[in-house]
Structure 1
Amino acid sequence: MKAFILVGHGKLPKAMIQSVKMMTGDIPNLYSICLMPEEGTDQLKIKMKKLKTELALYKEILVFADLFGGTPANTLFQTYQKDSRFSFITGMNFPMVLMAVLTPNASKEEIILVGQTGIKDLQAKEQVKDLESTNSEILITKKESKAKQSTIHVRIDSRGIHGQVTTAWLPYLQVNRIVVIDDLAINNPTQKIALKMACPEQVKLSILSTDTAVKRFRDDVSYKNENILVLILRVETLKEIDKKDFIFKEINLGNVPARKDTRKYRQTIHLTDREREIIKKIITKGTKFTAQMVPNDAIVDFDEYLD
Protein backbone atom coordinates (compact mmCIF):
# COMPACT_ATOMS: atom_id res chain seq x y z
CA MET A 1 0.00 0.00 0.00
CA LYS A 2 1.13 3.54 -0.74
CA ALA A 3 1.11 6.44 1.72
CA PHE A 4 0.77 10.10 0.81
CA ILE A 5 2.29 12.99 2.75
CA LEU A 6 1.13 16.54 2.11
CA VAL A 7 3.59 19.14 3.34
CA GLY A 8 3.47 22.89 3.09
CA HIS A 9 3.20 26.32 4.63
CA GLY A 10 0.51 27.09 7.19
CA LYS A 11 -2.56 24.89 7.39
CA LEU A 12 -2.73 24.21 3.65
CA PRO A 13 -1.82 20.48 3.93
CA LYS A 14 -4.56 19.82 6.51
CA ALA A 15 -7.09 21.79 4.49
CA MET A 16 -6.13 19.84 1.35
CA ILE A 17 -6.71 16.54 3.15
CA GLN A 18 -10.10 17.73 4.34
CA SER A 19 -11.02 18.59 0.75
CA VAL A 20 -9.80 15.22 -0.54
CA LYS A 21 -11.83 13.33 2.05
CA MET A 22 -14.95 15.17 0.90
CA MET A 23 -14.45 13.35 -2.41
CA THR A 24 -13.13 9.99 -1.21
CA GLY A 25 -14.49 9.46 2.28
CA ASP A 26 -12.15 8.65 5.14
CA ILE A 27 -8.81 7.13 4.13
CA PRO A 28 -6.02 6.07 6.52
CA ASN A 29 -2.96 6.52 4.33
CA LEU A 30 -3.02 10.31 3.95
CA TYR A 31 -0.83 12.46 6.22
CA SER A 32 -0.11 16.17 6.61
CA ILE A 33 2.88 18.09 7.89
CA CYS A 34 2.34 21.81 8.38
CA LEU A 35 5.03 24.48 8.76
CA MET A 36 3.51 27.27 10.84
CA PRO A 37 4.79 30.89 10.75
CA GLU A 38 6.65 30.58 14.06
CA GLU A 39 8.35 27.29 13.13
CA GLY A 40 11.51 26.28 11.27
CA THR A 41 13.23 23.14 9.99
CA ASP A 42 13.78 21.71 13.47
CA GLN A 43 10.05 21.72 14.16
CA LEU A 44 9.38 20.13 10.78
CA LYS A 45 11.83 17.32 11.53
CA ILE A 46 10.13 16.68 14.88
CA LYS A 47 6.78 16.34 13.14
CA MET A 48 8.31 14.01 10.59
CA LYS A 49 9.74 11.77 13.34
CA LYS A 50 6.29 11.43 14.88
CA LEU A 51 5.15 9.70 11.68
CA LYS A 52 8.09 7.30 11.56
CA THR A 53 6.28 4.31 13.09
CA GLU A 54 3.22 4.66 10.89
CA LEU A 55 5.23 5.23 7.71
CA ALA A 56 7.25 2.08 8.37
CA LEU A 57 4.17 0.10 7.30
CA TYR A 58 4.32 1.39 3.71
CA LYS A 59 6.49 0.25 0.82
CA GLU A 60 5.83 3.43 -1.18
CA ILE A 61 5.48 7.00 0.05
CA LEU A 62 4.64 9.92 -2.22
CA VAL A 63 5.30 13.40 -0.85
CA PHE A 64 3.38 16.40 -2.19
CA ALA A 65 4.94 19.77 -1.33
CA ASP A 66 3.27 23.09 -1.94
CA LEU A 67 6.25 25.07 -3.26
CA PHE A 68 9.37 24.08 -5.18
CA GLY A 69 12.37 25.38 -3.26
CA GLY A 70 10.32 26.08 -0.13
CA THR A 71 11.42 25.01 3.35
CA PRO A 72 8.88 22.14 3.64
CA ALA A 73 9.88 20.65 0.28
CA ASN A 74 13.60 21.10 0.89
CA THR A 75 13.50 19.65 4.40
CA LEU A 76 11.64 16.48 3.45
CA PHE A 77 13.73 15.97 0.35
CA GLN A 78 17.01 16.32 2.23
CA THR A 79 15.78 13.96 4.94
CA TYR A 80 14.32 11.21 2.77
CA GLN A 81 16.01 11.42 -0.63
CA LYS A 82 18.14 8.32 0.11
CA ASP A 83 15.12 6.28 1.19
CA SER A 84 14.02 4.39 -1.94
CA ARG A 85 10.43 4.30 -0.74
CA PHE A 86 10.05 8.06 -1.12
CA SER A 87 9.24 10.09 -4.22
CA PHE A 88 8.47 13.81 -4.41
CA ILE A 89 6.23 16.22 -6.32
CA THR A 90 6.11 19.98 -5.77
CA GLY A 91 3.50 22.52 -6.82
CA MET A 92 0.79 20.52 -5.07
CA ASN A 93 -2.76 21.20 -6.18
CA PHE A 94 -6.10 19.54 -5.56
CA PRO A 95 -6.54 17.69 -8.89
CA MET A 96 -3.15 16.00 -8.65
CA VAL A 97 -3.58 14.89 -5.03
CA LEU A 98 -7.05 13.54 -5.77
CA MET A 99 -5.74 11.68 -8.81
CA ALA A 100 -2.95 10.10 -6.76
CA VAL A 101 -5.23 8.99 -3.95
CA LEU A 102 -7.90 7.55 -6.26
CA THR A 103 -5.36 5.93 -8.61
CA PRO A 104 -2.49 4.68 -6.41
CA ASN A 105 -0.68 3.07 -9.36
CA ALA A 106 -0.53 6.29 -11.37
CA SER A 107 2.97 7.46 -12.31
CA LYS A 108 4.37 10.82 -11.23
CA GLU A 109 4.17 11.98 -14.84
CA GLU A 110 0.46 11.15 -15.01
CA ILE A 111 -0.21 12.87 -11.69
CA ILE A 112 1.63 16.03 -12.74
CA LEU A 113 -0.24 16.10 -16.07
CA VAL A 114 -3.58 16.00 -14.23
CA GLY A 115 -2.40 18.86 -12.04
CA GLN A 116 -1.49 20.92 -15.09
CA THR A 117 -4.65 20.20 -17.10
CA GLY A 118 -6.81 21.10 -14.10
CA ILE A 119 -5.73 24.73 -14.49
CA LYS A 120 -8.28 26.57 -16.64
CA ASP A 121 -9.29 30.14 -17.40
CA LEU A 122 -13.05 29.89 -16.98
CA GLN A 123 -13.54 33.19 -18.79
CA ALA A 124 -11.45 32.34 -21.83
CA LYS A 125 -13.53 33.27 -24.88
CA GLU A 126 -12.71 30.09 -26.77
CA GLN A 127 -13.81 27.87 -23.90
CA VAL A 128 -17.07 29.72 -23.24
CA LYS A 129 -17.88 29.66 -26.96
CA ASP A 130 -17.35 25.89 -27.10
CA LEU A 131 -19.58 25.34 -24.09
CA GLU A 132 -22.36 27.49 -25.47
CA SER A 133 -22.31 25.79 -28.86
CA THR A 134 -21.88 22.18 -27.73
CA ASN A 135 -24.91 20.01 -28.43
CA SER A 136 -24.56 17.58 -25.55
CA GLU A 137 -27.80 15.69 -26.15
CA ILE A 138 -26.69 12.81 -28.37
CA LEU A 139 -29.26 10.06 -28.85
CA ILE A 140 -29.05 6.61 -30.36
CA THR A 141 -31.14 5.96 -33.44
CA LYS A 142 -33.24 2.82 -33.92
CA LYS A 143 -30.73 1.57 -36.46
CA GLU A 144 -27.91 1.79 -33.91
CA SER A 145 -29.83 0.33 -30.98
CA LYS A 146 -29.29 -3.22 -29.77
CA ALA A 147 -31.04 -5.50 -27.32
CA LYS A 148 -29.00 -4.51 -24.28
CA GLN A 149 -30.86 -2.29 -21.84
CA SER A 150 -29.37 0.83 -20.30
CA THR A 151 -28.17 0.81 -16.69
CA ILE A 152 -29.48 3.72 -14.65
CA HIS A 153 -28.07 5.04 -11.38
CA VAL A 154 -29.97 7.89 -9.70
CA ARG A 155 -28.54 10.41 -7.25
CA ILE A 156 -30.03 13.49 -5.62
CA ASP A 157 -27.28 16.09 -5.38
CA SER A 158 -27.92 19.82 -5.20
CA ARG A 159 -24.42 20.54 -6.48
CA GLY A 160 -25.02 18.81 -9.79
CA ILE A 161 -21.82 17.78 -11.54
CA HIS A 162 -18.95 18.40 -9.12
CA GLY A 163 -15.79 16.82 -7.75
CA GLN A 164 -17.33 13.85 -5.95
CA VAL A 165 -19.32 12.96 -9.03
CA THR A 166 -16.52 13.28 -11.60
CA THR A 167 -13.65 11.80 -9.58
CA ALA A 168 -15.44 9.14 -7.55
CA TRP A 169 -18.87 8.17 -8.88
CA LEU A 170 -18.26 8.26 -12.64
CA PRO A 171 -15.25 5.90 -12.56
CA TYR A 172 -16.86 3.66 -9.92
CA LEU A 173 -20.10 3.27 -11.87
CA GLN A 174 -18.33 3.36 -15.28
CA VAL A 175 -20.79 5.96 -16.49
CA ASN A 176 -20.79 7.13 -20.10
CA ARG A 177 -23.73 9.55 -19.85
CA ILE A 178 -24.96 11.97 -17.22
CA VAL A 179 -28.62 12.99 -17.31
CA VAL A 180 -29.47 16.07 -15.25
CA ILE A 181 -33.20 16.38 -14.62
CA ASP A 182 -34.34 19.82 -13.51
CA ASP A 183 -37.12 22.06 -14.77
CA LEU A 184 -35.28 25.19 -13.63
CA ALA A 185 -31.82 24.34 -15.01
CA ILE A 186 -33.22 23.60 -18.47
CA ASN A 187 -34.22 27.27 -18.79
CA ASN A 188 -31.09 28.74 -17.19
CA PRO A 189 -28.31 29.29 -19.80
CA THR A 190 -25.69 30.08 -17.15
CA GLN A 191 -26.41 26.93 -15.17
CA LYS A 192 -26.35 24.84 -18.33
CA ILE A 193 -22.91 26.22 -19.24
CA ALA A 194 -21.67 25.42 -15.73
CA LEU A 195 -22.93 21.84 -16.01
CA LYS A 196 -21.29 21.38 -19.42
CA MET A 197 -18.06 22.85 -18.08
CA ALA A 198 -18.00 20.38 -15.18
CA CYS A 199 -18.82 17.31 -17.28
CA PRO A 200 -15.75 15.27 -18.37
CA GLU A 201 -15.14 15.32 -22.13
CA GLN A 202 -15.51 11.55 -22.48
CA VAL A 203 -18.96 11.54 -20.84
CA LYS A 204 -22.10 12.55 -22.74
CA LEU A 205 -24.44 15.01 -21.04
CA SER A 206 -28.20 15.50 -21.26
CA ILE A 207 -29.92 18.36 -19.40
CA LEU A 208 -33.63 17.61 -19.46
CA SER A 209 -36.97 18.77 -18.15
CA THR A 210 -39.00 16.22 -16.18
CA ASP A 211 -41.35 15.79 -19.17
CA THR A 212 -38.55 15.01 -21.61
CA ALA A 213 -36.68 12.81 -19.14
CA VAL A 214 -39.70 10.58 -18.50
CA LYS A 215 -40.35 10.25 -22.24
CA ARG A 216 -36.72 9.28 -22.88
CA PHE A 217 -36.60 6.71 -20.10
CA ARG A 218 -39.90 5.19 -21.17
CA ASP A 219 -38.92 4.61 -24.77
CA ASP A 220 -36.70 1.70 -25.70
CA VAL A 221 -34.37 3.56 -28.02
CA SER A 222 -32.88 6.80 -26.66
CA TYR A 223 -30.31 5.47 -24.22
CA LYS A 224 -29.75 1.90 -25.33
CA ASN A 225 -26.46 0.32 -24.26
CA GLU A 226 -25.59 3.25 -22.01
CA ASN A 227 -24.53 3.35 -18.37
CA ILE A 228 -26.29 6.43 -17.03
CA LEU A 229 -25.97 8.53 -13.91
CA VAL A 230 -29.14 10.55 -13.34
CA LEU A 231 -28.57 13.67 -11.25
CA ILE A 232 -31.60 15.27 -9.64
CA LEU A 233 -30.81 18.68 -8.16
CA ARG A 234 -33.93 19.15 -6.03
CA VAL A 235 -36.13 16.74 -4.07
CA GLU A 236 -39.13 18.63 -5.48
CA THR A 237 -38.29 17.15 -8.90
CA LEU A 238 -39.29 13.71 -7.61
CA LYS A 239 -42.83 14.98 -7.13
CA GLU A 240 -42.98 16.16 -10.75
CA ILE A 241 -41.68 12.81 -11.97
CA ASP A 242 -44.20 10.98 -9.79
CA LYS A 243 -47.05 13.03 -11.33
CA LYS A 244 -46.12 11.40 -14.63
CA ASP A 245 -46.48 7.90 -13.09
CA PHE A 246 -42.80 7.13 -13.42
CA ILE A 247 -40.52 5.89 -10.63
CA PHE A 248 -36.89 4.88 -10.28
CA LYS A 249 -36.09 1.58 -8.58
CA GLU A 250 -33.44 3.07 -6.28
CA ILE A 251 -32.28 6.62 -5.48
CA ASN A 252 -29.11 7.61 -3.65
CA LEU A 253 -29.37 10.72 -1.48
CA GLY A 254 -26.00 12.42 -1.84
CA ASN A 255 -26.27 16.08 -0.90
CA VAL A 256 -29.32 18.08 0.14
CA PRO A 257 -28.04 21.25 1.86
CA ALA A 258 -29.17 22.89 5.06
CA ARG A 259 -31.71 25.66 4.49
CA LYS A 260 -34.36 27.45 6.52
CA ASP A 261 -36.83 25.02 8.14
CA THR A 262 -34.76 21.92 7.34
CA ARG A 263 -33.94 19.06 9.67
CA LYS A 264 -30.58 17.28 9.60
CA TYR A 265 -30.89 13.55 8.87
CA ARG A 266 -27.25 12.88 8.00
CA GLN A 267 -24.11 14.98 7.57
CA THR A 268 -25.03 16.02 4.02
CA ILE A 269 -28.78 15.46 4.03
CA HIS A 270 -31.17 18.13 5.30
CA LEU A 271 -34.88 18.01 4.47
CA THR A 272 -37.89 20.24 4.94
CA ASP A 273 -41.10 18.60 6.11
CA ARG A 274 -42.41 18.91 2.56
CA GLU A 275 -39.35 17.13 1.11
CA ARG A 276 -39.63 14.42 3.74
CA GLU A 277 -43.23 13.76 2.76
CA ILE A 278 -42.31 13.65 -0.95
CA ILE A 279 -39.69 10.98 -0.26
CA LYS A 280 -42.04 8.98 1.98
CA LYS A 281 -44.67 8.98 -0.77
CA ILE A 282 -42.14 7.82 -3.38
CA ILE A 283 -41.09 5.00 -1.04
CA THR A 284 -44.69 3.74 -0.94
CA LYS A 285 -44.57 3.53 -4.75
CA GLY A 286 -41.67 1.07 -4.53
CA THR A 287 -38.51 3.21 -4.70
CA LYS A 288 -35.69 2.42 -2.28
CA PHE A 289 -33.69 5.36 -0.91
CA THR A 290 -30.08 5.01 0.19
CA ALA A 291 -27.58 7.48 1.62
CA GLN A 292 -23.98 7.30 0.42
CA MET A 293 -21.75 10.34 -0.10
CA VAL A 294 -18.93 8.55 -1.94
CA PRO A 295 -18.44 4.93 -3.09
CA ASN A 296 -16.03 4.19 -0.22
CA ASP A 297 -18.78 4.91 2.33
CA ALA A 298 -21.12 2.17 3.53
CA ILE A 299 -24.54 2.13 1.88
CA VAL A 300 -27.16 3.27 4.39
CA ASP A 301 -30.86 2.42 4.07
CA PHE A 302 -32.37 5.90 4.27
CA ASP A 303 -35.93 4.57 4.48
CA GLU A 304 -35.27 3.78 8.16
CA TYR A 305 -34.51 7.45 8.93
CA LEU A 306 -38.07 8.39 8.03
CA ASP A 307 -39.89 5.92 10.30
Structure 2
Amino acid sequence: MPNIVYTRIDERGLHGQVAVGHGPHSGCNLILFANDDVANDPAQQALAKMSAGEFDTRFFTIEKTINVIHRANDKQKIFILIRSPQDALALVKGNVLLSKINVGNMHYKEGKKQIHDTVSVDENDLAAFRELISMGIECTIQRNPSDTPINMVDYI
Protein backbone atom coordinates (compact mmCIF):
# COMPACT_ATOMS: atom_id res chain seq x y z
CA MET A 1 0.00 0.00 0.00
CA PRO A 2 1.48 3.39 -0.93
CA ASN A 3 2.30 5.82 1.86
CA ILE A 4 0.38 8.88 0.64
CA VAL A 5 0.92 11.56 3.26
CA TYR A 6 -0.64 14.59 1.55
CA THR A 7 -2.71 15.54 -1.48
CA ARG A 8 -3.06 19.10 -2.73
CA ILE A 9 -4.97 20.75 -5.56
CA ASP A 10 -3.00 23.73 -6.84
CA GLU A 11 -3.47 25.02 -10.39
CA ARG A 12 -0.10 26.76 -10.15
CA GLY A 13 1.60 23.40 -9.86
CA LEU A 14 4.86 22.80 -8.06
CA HIS A 15 6.19 26.14 -6.87
CA GLY A 16 7.99 27.57 -3.86
CA GLN A 17 4.97 27.68 -1.54
CA VAL A 18 4.40 23.98 -2.11
CA ALA A 19 8.06 23.00 -1.64
CA VAL A 20 8.87 25.36 1.24
CA GLY A 21 5.54 25.25 3.10
CA HIS A 22 3.41 22.24 2.32
CA GLY A 23 6.26 19.81 1.60
CA PRO A 24 7.92 20.03 5.02
CA HIS A 25 4.50 20.30 6.72
CA SER A 26 3.41 17.03 5.10
CA GLY A 27 6.53 15.09 6.08
CA CYS A 28 6.93 13.87 2.50
CA ASN A 29 10.15 12.86 0.78
CA LEU A 30 8.62 12.60 -2.70
CA ILE A 31 6.36 14.99 -4.58
CA LEU A 32 4.38 13.21 -7.27
CA PHE A 33 2.91 15.73 -9.69
CA ALA A 34 0.01 13.82 -11.26
CA ASN A 35 -1.07 15.79 -14.31
CA ASP A 36 -1.36 14.76 -17.94
CA ASP A 37 -0.05 18.05 -19.36
CA VAL A 38 2.98 18.29 -17.06
CA ALA A 39 3.84 14.61 -17.51
CA ASN A 40 4.24 15.29 -21.23
CA ASP A 41 6.01 18.65 -21.03
CA PRO A 42 9.74 18.65 -20.21
CA ALA A 43 9.78 22.45 -19.89
CA GLN A 44 7.10 22.45 -17.17
CA GLN A 45 8.94 19.59 -15.43
CA ALA A 46 12.23 21.51 -15.47
CA LEU A 47 10.57 24.55 -13.88
CA ALA A 48 8.88 22.40 -11.26
CA LYS A 49 12.15 20.62 -10.40
CA MET A 50 13.79 24.00 -9.80
CA SER A 51 11.08 24.77 -7.24
CA ALA A 52 11.13 21.33 -5.61
CA GLY A 53 14.23 22.01 -3.56
CA GLU A 54 15.19 19.00 -1.45
CA PHE A 55 12.30 16.83 -2.59
CA ASP A 56 12.53 14.00 -5.05
CA THR A 57 9.96 14.57 -7.82
CA ARG A 58 8.03 12.46 -10.28
CA PHE A 59 5.76 13.60 -13.10
CA PHE A 60 3.09 11.06 -14.02
CA THR A 61 -0.12 11.18 -16.00
CA ILE A 62 -3.27 10.45 -14.03
CA GLU A 63 -3.44 7.00 -15.68
CA LYS A 64 0.18 6.16 -14.86
CA THR A 65 -0.34 7.28 -11.27
CA ILE A 66 -3.32 4.92 -10.98
CA ASN A 67 -1.34 2.08 -12.56
CA VAL A 68 1.92 2.35 -10.60
CA ILE A 69 1.34 4.01 -7.23
CA HIS A 70 0.42 0.70 -5.62
CA ARG A 71 4.00 -0.47 -6.29
CA ALA A 72 5.55 2.44 -4.37
CA ASN A 73 8.20 1.62 -1.82
CA ASP A 74 6.97 1.92 1.78
CA LYS A 75 9.84 4.33 2.49
CA GLN A 76 8.40 6.82 0.03
CA LYS A 77 6.25 9.37 1.83
CA ILE A 78 4.24 10.62 -1.12
CA PHE A 79 2.78 14.10 -1.59
CA ILE A 80 0.41 13.97 -4.57
CA LEU A 81 0.05 17.32 -6.32
CA ILE A 82 -2.81 17.74 -8.79
CA ARG A 83 -4.41 20.67 -10.55
CA SER A 84 -8.14 19.97 -10.30
CA PRO A 85 -10.86 18.18 -8.35
CA GLN A 86 -11.55 16.18 -11.51
CA ASP A 87 -8.01 14.78 -11.33
CA ALA A 88 -8.58 13.91 -7.67
CA LEU A 89 -11.82 12.14 -8.54
CA ALA A 90 -10.15 10.19 -11.35
CA LEU A 91 -7.43 9.03 -8.94
CA VAL A 92 -9.99 7.94 -6.34
CA LYS A 93 -12.07 6.10 -8.96
CA GLY A 94 -8.82 4.43 -10.02
CA ASN A 95 -8.42 3.07 -6.48
CA VAL A 96 -5.78 5.51 -5.31
CA LEU A 97 -6.48 5.79 -1.59
CA LEU A 98 -6.92 9.44 -0.70
CA SER A 99 -8.51 10.37 2.61
CA LYS A 100 -8.01 14.13 2.63
CA ILE A 101 -7.43 16.76 -0.06
CA ASN A 102 -5.94 20.18 0.61
CA VAL A 103 -7.42 22.72 -1.81
CA GLY A 104 -4.92 25.49 -2.39
CA ASN A 105 -5.38 27.56 -5.50
CA MET A 106 -8.05 27.30 -8.17
CA HIS A 107 -7.95 30.46 -10.24
CA TYR A 108 -10.89 32.65 -11.18
CA LYS A 109 -11.83 32.40 -14.86
CA GLU A 110 -14.87 33.19 -16.95
CA GLY A 111 -17.67 30.90 -15.81
CA LYS A 112 -16.24 30.32 -12.34
CA LYS A 113 -17.51 31.65 -9.04
CA GLN A 114 -15.08 32.70 -6.34
CA ILE A 115 -15.95 30.89 -3.10
CA HIS A 116 -12.80 31.80 -1.17
CA ASP A 117 -9.83 34.14 -1.61
CA THR A 118 -7.87 31.52 -3.56
CA VAL A 119 -10.59 29.16 -4.79
CA SER A 120 -12.96 29.63 -7.71
CA VAL A 121 -15.19 26.84 -8.99
CA ASP A 122 -17.61 26.03 -11.76
CA GLU A 123 -20.38 23.41 -11.76
CA ASN A 124 -17.99 20.64 -12.88
CA ASP A 125 -15.65 21.44 -9.98
CA LEU A 126 -18.55 21.47 -7.51
CA ALA A 127 -19.85 18.14 -8.83
CA ALA A 128 -16.39 16.59 -8.41
CA PHE A 129 -16.06 17.94 -4.87
CA ARG A 130 -19.55 16.70 -3.97
CA GLU A 131 -18.70 13.23 -5.24
CA LEU A 132 -15.37 13.16 -3.40
CA ILE A 133 -17.05 14.26 -0.17
CA SER A 134 -19.82 11.66 -0.62
CA MET A 135 -17.04 9.04 -0.84
CA GLY A 136 -15.81 10.12 2.59
CA ILE A 137 -12.87 12.23 1.43
CA GLU A 138 -12.29 15.36 3.48
CA CYS A 139 -11.70 18.42 1.28
CA THR A 140 -10.35 21.54 2.99
CA ILE A 141 -9.25 24.94 1.71
CA GLN A 142 -5.88 25.94 3.10
CA ARG A 143 -3.53 28.30 1.30
CA ASN A 144 -0.63 27.87 3.73
CA PRO A 145 -0.01 25.18 6.36
CA SER A 146 -0.28 27.84 9.08
CA ASP A 147 -3.82 28.77 7.95
CA THR A 148 -6.80 27.14 9.61
CA PRO A 149 -8.30 24.53 7.24
CA ILE A 150 -11.80 25.39 6.01
CA ASN A 151 -14.11 22.51 5.18
CA MET A 152 -15.36 22.59 1.57
CA VAL A 153 -18.73 21.34 2.78
CA ASP A 154 -19.35 24.89 4.00
CA TYR A 155 -19.10 26.16 0.41
CA ILE A 156 -20.92 23.53 -1.60
Q: Settle same-fold status: TM greater than 0.5.
A: yes
What's the counterpart of residue 81 of structure 2?
Answer: 231
**Whose relative contact order is higher, 1 or 2, with alpha carbons under 8 Å and at least 6 apart?**
2
- What is the identity percentage for the equivalent residue pairs of Structure 1 and Structure 2? 22
Q: TM-score, normalised by structure 1?
A: 0.48
What's the counterpart of residue 286 of structure 1?
Answer: 136
Structure showing greater Rg: 1
- 8 A Cα contact 1:247 1:287, kept in partner: no
Selected match of 2:30 from 174, 177, 187: 177
Instruction: State the AA in 2 paired with 1:255.
Output: N
Selected match of 2:6 from 141, 145, 153: 153
Do residues 207 (structure 1) and 50 (structure 2) align?
no
Q: Between Structure 1 and Structure 2, which shows a larger proportion of strand residues? A: 2
Distance 1:215 1:276, change over 3 A: same
- Unaligned 5+ residue runs, structure 1? 1-147
Instruction: State the AA in 2 paired with 1:165.
Output: V
What's the counterpart of residue 167 of structure 1?
Answer: 20
Describe the SS at the equivalent of 1:282. helix
Using the alignment, how far apart are the partners of 2:96 and 2:4 within structure 1? 16
Q: TM-score, normalised by structure 2?
A: 0.90
Distance 1:286 1:171, change over 3 A: same
- Unaligned 5+ residue runs, structure 2? none
- 8 A Cα contact 2:5 2:28, kept in partner: no
Using the alignment, how far apart are the partners of 1:197 and 1:217 within structure 2? 24
Runs of 4+ aligned structure 1 residues displaced above 4 Å come to none
Describe the SS at the equivalent of 1:184. helix
Using the alignment, how far apart are the partners of 1:245 and 1:226 within structure 2? 18
- 8 A Cα contact 1:292 1:300, kept in partner: yes
Using the alignment, how far apart are the partners of 1:185 and 1:224 within structure 2? 25
